[in-house]
Amino acid sequence: MLNIDLAELQQHSTPLYVYNLPLLRQTLDAAQQEARKYNYHVHYALKANANAPILEAMRTYGFGADCVSGNEVKTAIASGFAPSDVVFAGVGKSDAEINYALDQDIFCFNCESKQELEVLNELAALKGKTARVALRINPNVNANTHKYITTGLEENKFGINAWELESVLELLAQLPNIDLIGIHFHIGSQITDLSVFKNLCTRVNEFQQWFAAHKITLQHINVGGGLGVDYYQPEQQLIPDFASYFNLFHQFLELRSGQQVHFELGRALVAQCGTLVSKVLYIKKGMTTNFAILDAGMTELIRPALYQSYHKIENLSSQLPEERYDVVGPICESSDCFGKAVILPETSRGDLIAIRTAGAYGEVMASNYNLREKAQALYLQDQQV
């Protein structure tokens, strides 16, 4: 439940993204504490949430920036992240994006194909620069998550496949403006089964042996992110189990002397600190169900429509006996539904509804479809918690 007075919340127009900054800081404290035990480097994935107060918190805690577009690189640097802490990933980097990142002398490009390496080498040569590169390798590890957020299988568009590596090394020998400094992996998102990461460690170890056999020294091992959060019972696990997560890599990842390990965490850091608050516009009685029609829709939170994902839904205004509702938005799409057969206290026009765990892939994926206006954001400070 939101730790804010209902009367105060009612003073704000809806739909409204509400961010609990003290909870965010507690989460970052926990992640930082556990990562430091092993001298791990954490880069925050801007694609989860790129709001200025969120980025300021990440920078203050000393996290780097994981970017997947040129504008994310620009935003990270404009927000105060040192270029030496910026990693640029993504399967389709444009020439303009690459040129900007080269001009900023960012830490590393995570490259995903042979042609990308060739283009990067060409653009770097024109500037008289050398681009630091980690090869994003597709480890063919099943993340056991939704197919749209699985990224580490050979059927996915991401990464270089194992059978391509010999030809990649042959190509690298011909690219004088590329400096291979590491390897990179990312197998998917919203992973709650930690054994998946153990499988990833096994594959990373195998690739390490392969590179060692080819007499290639790798300084950096980037194992990506993907740690999931509890959407069903957020109050019971507001902060993910970072201790078990980082310790698993410590146990099973076989490092060479001097190697540094990097992580790209996004959702795990910000998801629980955000809530989408919406107002009930209408209650519509149907033949088999009741509809609670909100003023928020898939334009504010697209995850349920895109991934059929679950978000806990609460009525902040009512304590009446419970009824069953399909909680839907106002958008002209039948997929504009936050949850079916949701048990809520009897709900009326004007009630405030909270859609929990919306701090990641909520506001950052918002659109103005149907010419909707962008919702505002409210940041709760210490005295409000």
Q: Which of 31-35, 137-141, 244-248, 367-371 is predicted least confidently? A: 137-141
Res. 156 pLDDT band, cuts 50 70 90: low
| Residue 64 included in any domain | yes
CATH number at residue 254: 3.20.20.10
Q: What percent of the chain has pLDDT over 90?
A: 89
| Residue 1 included in any domain | no
Q: Which of 80-84, 186-190, 326-330 is predicted least confidently? A: 186-190
| Residue 331 included in any domain | yes
What is the C-alpha separation between 32 and 40, in angstroms, rounded? 9
- Quote the pLDDT of residue 146: 44
Query: Residues 278, 261: one domain?
Result: no
Query: Residues 366, 351: one domain?
Result: yes
Query: In the predicted model, is pLDDT for residue 76 greater than 60?
Result: yes
166-175 mean pLDDT: 97
Helix-helix angle 242-252:21-36, to 10 degrees = 20
- Alpha-carbon distances, residue 257 vs 35, 217, 234 (angstroms): 19, 10, 40
Give the end of a domain, one of 234, 255, 271: 271
| Residue 25 included in any domain | yes
What is the C-alpha separation between 39 and 175, in angstroms, rounded? 32
Query: In the predicted model, is pLDDT for residue 289 greater than 80?
Result: yes
Res. 262 pLDDT band, cuts 50 70 90: very high
What is the C-alpha separation between 48 and 70, in angstroms, rounded? 16
250-254 mean pLDDT: 97
- Alpha-carbon distances, residue 315 vs 138, 320, 337, 344 (angstroms): 43, 10, 16, 6
Structural domain harbouring 323: 6-16+272-384
| Residue 231 included in any domain | yes
Query: Residues 227, 366: one domain?
Result: no
- Tens digit of pLDDT for each residue in 307-335? 999 999 999 999 999 999 999 999 999 99
CATH number at residue 345: 2.40.37.10
Q: Indicate the average pLDDT of the chain.
A: 94
- Quote the pLDDT of residue 2: 67
48-59 mean pLDDT: 98
- Alpha-carbon distances, residue 30 vs 81, 195, 238, 239 (angstroms): 21, 21, 11, 8
Give the end of a domain, one of 253, 271, 289: 271
Total number of domains in the chain: 2
- The SS3 of residue 277 is strand
| Residue 76 included in any domain | yes
- Quote the pLDDT of residue 142: 56
Query: Residues 256, 303: one domain?
Result: no
| Residue 106 included in any domain | yes
pTM: 0.93
What is the C-alpha separation between 269 and 185, in angstroms, rounded? 19
- Tens digit of pLDDT for each residue in 38-47? 999 999 999 9
- Quote the pLDDT of residue 286: 80
- Please give the residue that has the higher pLDDT: either 51 or 155: 51
Query: In the predicted model, is pLDDT for residue 153 greater than 50?
Result: no
Give the end of a domain, one of 271, 289, 324: 271
What is the C-alpha separation between 219 and 183, in angstroms, rounded? 9
- Tens digit of pLDDT for each residue in 13-35? 999 999 999 999 999 999 999 99
Query: Residues 310, 243: one domain?
Result: no
- Quote the pLDDT of residue 5: 84
- Please give the residue that has the higher pLDDT: either 269 or 146: 269
242-262 mean pLDDT: 97
| Residue 262 included in any domain | yes
Bridging pattern class, strands 290-294 and 260-265 = unpaired
Res. 383 pLDDT band, cuts 50 70 90: very low
